[in-house]
Structure 1
Amino acid sequence: MKHSLEIQPLSSWINTDGKPLIISGPCSAETEDQLVSTAHLLANTGKVHVLRAGIWKPRTRPGEFEGIGSIGLEWLKRAKEETGLLTATEVATAQHVKEAIDAGVDILWIGARSTANPFTVQEIADAIKASGKDIPVIVKNPVNPDLSLWIGALERVNGAGIKKIAAIHRGFSSYEKTAFRNEPMWDLAIQLKTIAPELPIINDPSHICGNRELIPYIAQKAMDMDMQGFIIESHIDPSVAWTDAKQQVTPAALAELLDNLSYRQPESADPAFSDKLAELRQKIDKLDDQILKLIGDRMKVAENIGEYKRDNNVTILQVNRWDEIIQKRVQLAKALNLGEDFSVKYLELLHNESIRKQNEIMNVKTTTEA
């Protein structure tokens, strides 16, 4: 997959002194005192660069608190004046864009539900272009695991002339019940980083976790994945928050969390490190070549099986055999300290390719049949 993004580096639109970008603040602006007091506490930590707050909060179901509305923009403006923090809020319509920019909001973000709708993203992009403002825009991943939608949203914003863009990794909806509110699906974030290495990716552990206890674990993993910062929800008193109370932390807890993270460099200047890493990567390359050769040999056997099944008029899929493969190989994988999820997915890919090859053979007439 290719992209057509023109991106300015993060350092060109916000100064973090080489540290990860930290965006924090309450899920929702509830009252002027709540927002401004939280902003002061966050600013006093000396670790936060941008104050975030939801102004418009359409919920999954009507009847819940759906944001304080435009008056909250004035509270953001006051918080900025008193603390010096930049401000950010979510926009979902052209009217939101206009009001936020007119109120002096410094950064806009596009939420997961909006990212999933190209019409909404285009409306937002057009409104930003019409404003004539060179305002940074950060784009959350869509609700569902669709990399094309995520990149498409970034491209639409970029197409409006905005080069100060970043992505937010906030996890993906999944039918499987796990400890997380949204599954991290790190592989999709890695794919995005591979496709657009110059694109800053900011992690949102609040929405991935859904509860504050898991945030340190996800935050550390995000740092180890070389993400450029965090957007973390923080409230002066999370126990009384009007929205997403369980996933918000106090400003003091945020500071402690950030202090306890291990920050690692993407590369080392030590020549000895580079030499050793190159040696280990050569071993990986050699093993990858061997694995691919073995897979090729396996598929040749699968083709022979397909020919034998065709000649004996037997169906391709043998469910009992597939169950046997899964049970035996997953047990072996566990013994080799390989993750079960990885092992099952790997076996499914092999099986699907075997089925594809056998299907080709089964549907090609032999010389005697022609």
Structure 2
Amino acid sequence: MNTLQMNEWIGTASKPIIIAGPCSVETPEQLDQTVNYLVKEGIRIIRGGVWKPRTRPNSFEGVGEIALPWIREAKSKYGVQFAIEVASPYHVEKALEYGIDMLWIGARSTVNPFTVQDLADALRGVDIPVWVKNPVNPDIALWIGALERLNRAGVKKLGAIHRGFSNFNDSIYRNSPTWQIPLEFKTQFPEIPLLNDPSHISGKRDLILPVSQMALDLNFDGLIIESHINPDQAWSDSAQQLIPADLGKLIAQLQTRIATVNNPLLESQLEVIREHIDEVDRELLEVLGRRMKLVEKAGEYKKLNNVAIFQMERWKKVFETRPIWASSLQINQEFVKELYKLIHTESIKKQEEIMEGKLQESISRK
């Protein structure tokens, strides 16, 4: 994609970029007070929900376009830029009419290529920054596809927002961060600025700081955080919003890391460590290769004796014991569980191939 570099359109080359504001624009007073205090904390780009796509129809879905004059007044009064979510061509039309500076496409819209194409068509020929949130499900192709549709419509000022992914098994986060997906995105498209949305990942304010710091440690370009003058009285997502003063304290605690190493001595030391990592990786793969050879042996035995591939008791034993072994080696148990799920899937696949070979032999004899 032929996008512009971040500092050619974002308005500042400094990092991290911070966009903050209420989940929803509720009243003129709530917006004015929130923006007033955010500006005092140094925030120059405000976010606010005007139209809120909600899961249930009886939920608060935003006040709608009556908020747009309030936003225009706040922009004029405080000299800030403003970003809102759009989910239809009509939203785009009204946002442009009222001078909104940036748009974002939400996770529920990104998941639908028809919706994204409608938005891309509505933005054709418009010179405005557009941020695209990852889809609700962990599908990087949909995320990339949404950006490609916008880019083909002529939108060059593109950015991406990582807001986590739906996962009913996650007991910690509202939306699982699944960090490998945004990192893969950044690897493929390093020229596109990538923000993290710790509010939607966390779902509760006490997790916003560690998620934000993790994003900066992973070299994200910035953060988009929900902030409300009185979060406990917010009309939507009250648990994940910070008062502006607490947002200011959070920003002050964040540590930024250097993206590249310019110190020759440090680079030399890192290179030695990396060489050792490479050696260990080769050993790991050799061990994994030996394991797969044993899996093939087991498959041949099952094939000869007409035994089913999947043995529940065996799998339960593997899945129960390996995390315990990992713990004794100070390795994260959840990581090992996920690793062995992948290993088990590949093992089943290999044994299926052996069984298919038996079936083909039987067919050939006939």
TM over 0.5: yes
Q: Are residues 1:23 and 2:38 paired? A: no
The answer as to whether partners of 1:28 and 1:242 remain within 8 angstroms in 2 is yes
Q: SS in structure 1 opposite 2:159?
A: strand
Alignment partners' CA distance in 1, 2:355 and 2:266: 52
User: Within 5 A, what are the aligned runs for 1:139-158?
Assistant: 139-158=132-151
List gaps (5 residues or longer) in structure 2. Answer: none
- Per-residue deviation, 1:49: 2.7
Tell me how far apart the structure 1 counterparts of residues 134 and 361 of structure 2 sit (CA, whole Å): 52
Given the alignment, which residue of 59, 62, 65 partners 2:60? Answer: 65
CA distance in 2, matches of 1:61, 1:358: 45
* Contact 1:330/1:344 (<8 A) preserved: yes
Does residue 266 of structure 1 match 2:259? yes
Q: Find the counterpart in structure 1 of residue 313 from structure 2.
A: 320
Residues 172, 183 of structure 1: 8 Å contact kept:
yes
**Among 16, 36, 40, the residue aligned to 1:44:** 40
Q: Do structure 1's residue 121 and structure 2's residue 120 form an aligned pair? A: no
Q: Evaluate the alpha carbon distance shift between residue 367 and residue 189 of structure 1 in structure 2; reply closer, same or farther with a 3 A threshold.
A: closer
Instruction: State the alpha-carbon separation in 2 of the partners of residues 327 and 35 from structure 1.
Output: 52
Match of 1:6 among 2, 27, 48: 2
Give distance in 1, aligned partners of 2:152 and 2:261. 36
Aligned counterpart, 1:185: 178
Unpaired runs of 5+ residues, structure 1, are none
Once the two structures are TM-superposed, the CA of residue 29 in structure 1 deviates from its matched residue by 1.0
Equivalents in 1 of 2:189, 2:88: separation in Å? 27
Deviation at 1:328, TM superposition (A): 2.3
TM-score by length of 1: 0.94
Residues 185-264 of structure 1: pairs in structure 2 closer than 5 A:
185-264=178-257
Give the secondary-structure state (helix, strand or coil) at the position aligned to 2:123: helix
Cα deviation for residue 324 of structure 1 reads 1.8
Kindly indicate whether residue 279 of structure 2 is the aligned counterpart of residue 283 of structure 1: no
1:335 to 318, 328, 332: 328
C-alpha change, 1:318 and 1:31, in structure 2 (3 Å) is same
One-letter code aligned to 1:210: G
Q: Which residue of the partner structure matches residue 73 of structure 2? A: 78
The answer (yes or no) to whether the contact 1:21–1:49 under 8 Å persists in 2 is no
Deviates more, 1:327-336 or 1:225-234: 327-336
CA contact (8 A) 2:6 2:191 kept: no
- Corresponding residue for residue 343 of structure 2: 350
> Could you tell me how far apart the structure 1 residues matched to 2:77 and 2:94 are?
21
Q: Identify the residue that residue 353 of structure 2 maps to in structure 1.
A: 360
Pairwise CA distance, 1:245? 1.3
Tell me which of 155, 158, 161 is aligned to 2:154: 161
Q: Secondary structure at the match of 1:285?
A: helix
Q: Which residue of 2 aligns with 1:90?
A: 85
Q: Which residue identity is paired with 2:17?
A: L
- Cα drift, residue 367 of structure 1: 7.6
Distance 1:367 1:209, change over 3 A: closer
Give the residue type in structure 2 aligned to 1:341.
E
Q: CA deviation at 1:17?
A: 4.5
Per the alignment, in what secondary structure is the counterpart of residue 182 of structure 1?
coil
CA distance in 2, matches of 1:107, 1:361: 55
Shift of the alpha carbon at 1:54? Answer: 0.7
1:223 is displaced (CA, Å) by 0.9
C-alpha displacement of 1:363: 2.4
Does residue 100 of the first structure (1) align with residue 95 of the second (2)?
Answer: yes
User: In the alignment, residue 163 of structure 2 is paired with which amino acid?
Assistant: R
- Tell me how far 1:297 sits from its aligned partner: 1.8
- Give, as a single letter, the amino acid of the residue that structure 2 aligns with 1:9: Q
Residue 16 of structure 1 contacts residue 49 of structure 1 at CA under 8 Å; is this kept in 2?
A: no
The residue identity in structure 1 corresponding to 2:85 is E
> Counterpart of 2:220 in 1: which secondary structure?
coil
Alignment RMSD, CA only? 1.6
CA distance in 1, matches of 2:296, 2:212: 46
Task: Give the counterpart letter for 2:92 in structure 1.
Answer: V
Deviation at 1:198, TM superposition (A): 2.1
What's the TM-score once normalised by structure 2's chain length? 0.95
